Chains A and B, each alone.
Chain A
Amino acid sequence: MSRVEATIVGTVSKVLVSIGDDIQSGQEVVILESMKMLIPVEATKAGKVTAIHVKEMDFVNEGDTLIVLEESQ
């Protein structure tokens, strides 16, 4: 199990993945908006999306969990 966390405090601009998606390490999974900048958050590991903890316009703090992955073997 691996978590993708918010890299900065801000709001969720867009969620780019759905539950069940297979994603690669380095793939952008969420776009945050902070300081009027669009800030992509990338997965640091490859895996299947098992949970999405946020939706558009949600406020998040740095370190909050955005997405949970089941890591690829």
Chain B
Amino acid sequence: MSELRDKSKRLQSGGSRKYHEKLAHAGKLFARERLRLLLDQDSFVEDGLFANSVEDGLAADGVITGTGKINGTTVCVMANDSTVKAGSWGKRTVEKIIRIQETAEKLRSPLLYLVDSAGARITDQLEMFPGRRGAGKIFYNQVKLSGVVPQICLLFGPSAAGGAYIPAFCDVVIMVDKNASMYLGSPRMAEMVIGQKVSLEEMGGARMHCSVSGCGDFLAKDESEAIQIAKSYFAYWQQPIHKEFRSNPSVEKISSIVPKEQNLPFDMKKLINLLVDQNSSLEVKELFAPELITMFARLNGRAIGIIANQSKVKGGVLFGDSADKAARFITLCDAYQIPLLFLIDVPGFMVGTQVERAGIIRHGAKMIAAMSEATVPKISVIVRKAYGAGLYAMAGPAFEPDCCIALPTAQIAVMGPEAAVNAVYHNQIQAMEPEARETFIQEKRKAYQEDIHIYRLASELIVDAMVELEDLRYELAKRYDLYGDKQIHFSKRKHPIYPV
């Protein structure tokens, strides 16, 4: 074997055997094996294999960078090698990551970050931390690339301290249960500086981030599943992969899903499953703020992003977290030209001291701002109720949806009949004799319901179309096809003052 081949082979094997054994013991794969599973066969070309190779034990300086293909589309990748100094960042590690970001920008290629890193090498801090091409440049580049090329993070191990911002700036984060973690200060540091005793899993584990903080988008049971999720997600960024002219769902099947009573819960996911192409959906942030569903799916082969109220969880009421989740997803779809579908069944934004103190108004404003700014084809469907600012946040008529469709079960109002009658006639009701009250209330509710009846609203052109639920799939497919070439710019200004 030539000297070059021999050296290359040694560098490609990463760190010493004990670190490989440690990796296997934790149920983790070697970084190069992860890339092999992710990328099309023989498509990968590597840059910087010899980085820091004059030093012993620093193969590729702990990060593999290069270009390959996923399902035939060119992508750039960086993968921390945790068998080399725990995947920590030295000067050349940082330089390699910056360079692959620059390559992604030049090639206009998606960039995948396979993260498994202990963070900065403190011993090398002067070289890798503060300077113009120090670690800060990685995050600067991420912000610059955001919305230009998809950035996907697969988190297999730790993403510590400053390194935690790599996932934070990615479009989506896939985390492996039990092994992935993300935190600014480790449990050891928390104990030292604030006296808090906490486990790593509680502090920054995958499940916590996917269900509580919202920093994670997908919780994978193992590394293979994480890679499969990344590929599935990536497919929505590629051209339609198939056309499925599935017939409309049967009346019997679909009519039993949506209850006529506005206050009874139902599973919106069952409705979505009957609307979209079979096995075409991928839910984002499934475990976080589940009262609002954000999901990619295909409709006759066309990728769409769905935002839907889930009355089965917390009544489908909008909270601060659900508004943030929606805002983020809308921005993601809009950046990459994925049309939006809003399925509305919303009692409004939550009320009460707890949510007001947590700033529900500014969170709601984020959602309304993101939805207003979205210029991709957007269709809103009022499935049942659309009350209060919930109608606005879910792309109501004032927010320029290309079409606002109402089902016969739709109801649009500032608030529902019960709350409205109480609000308007409270003093009068209180002054009445108890036996007269109920009759009065029922009469007023009936009058209110007639006033907001959906046919009346359709007559006033408040909605653009009325469609039976069983015809909705066909109607939506036609409309997305017709709106596909929509080209508008929301504004010529530099940027708005975002409500954050």
Contact = CB atoms under 8 A, between A and B. Distances in A.
Interface of A: 7-9, 34-40, 61-62
Given A9-B352, A9-B354, A62-B354, A39 B347 contact: no
Contacts of B311: 37
25 contacts: A7-B313, A8-B314, A9-B354, A34-B314, A34-B315, A35-B315, A35-B317, A35-B347, A35-B348, A35-B350, A35-B351, A36-B416, A36-B418, A37-B263, A37-B311, A37-B315, A37-B317, A38-B263, A38-B264, A38-B265, A38-B315, A39-B314, A39-B315, A40-B265, A62-B354
Interface string B410-438: 00000010110000000000000000000
A34 B317 CA distance: 9
Interface string B60-92: 000000000000000000000000000000000
B316 A37 contact: yes
A61 B317 CA distance: 16
A44 to B, nearest CB: 13
A36 B262 CA distance: 9
Of B265, B314, B354, most A-chain CB atoms within 10 Å: B314
A28 to B, nearest CB: 10
Contacts of A9: 352, 354
A8 B315 contact: yes
Nearest to B422: A36
B348 A39 contact: no
B267 to A, nearest CB: 12
A43 B351 CA distance: 26
Classify the secondary structure of B's interface with A.
loop
B352 A36 contact: no
Interface of B: 263-265, 311, 313-317, 347-348, 350-352, 354, 416, 418-419
Chain A contact surface mostly:
loop
Contacts of B351: 35
A39 B265 contact: yes
A39 B34 CA distance: 43
A64 to B, nearest CB: 12
Contacts of B419: 36
Contacts of A8: 314-315, 317
A38 B311 CA distance: 9
Nearest to A13: B263
B346 to A, nearest CB: 10
Contacts of A38: 263-265, 315
A39 B351 CA distance: 16
Contacts of A40: 265
Given A9-B354, A36-B419, 11 more contacts: A7-B313, A34-B315, A35-B315, A35-B350, A36-B347, A36-B418, A37-B263, A37-B311, A37-B315, A37-B316, A38-B264
A55 B347 CA distance: 25
Contacts of A36: 263, 347, 416, 418-419
B352 to A, nearest CB: 5
A40 B347 CA distance: 16
A37 B19 CA distance: 54
A37 B419 CA distance: 11
A39 B313 CA distance: 7
Q: Which 7 A-B pairs have the closest CB atoms?
A: A37-B315, A35-B347, A8-B314, A39-B315, A35-B317, A37-B263, A38-B263
Q: Which residue among B313, B348, B352 has the maximum number of chain A CB atoms within 10 Å of its CB?
A: B352
A4 B404 CA distance: 40
A63 B352 CA distance: 15
B314 A7 contact: yes
Contacts of B418: 36
A43 B416 CA distance: 30
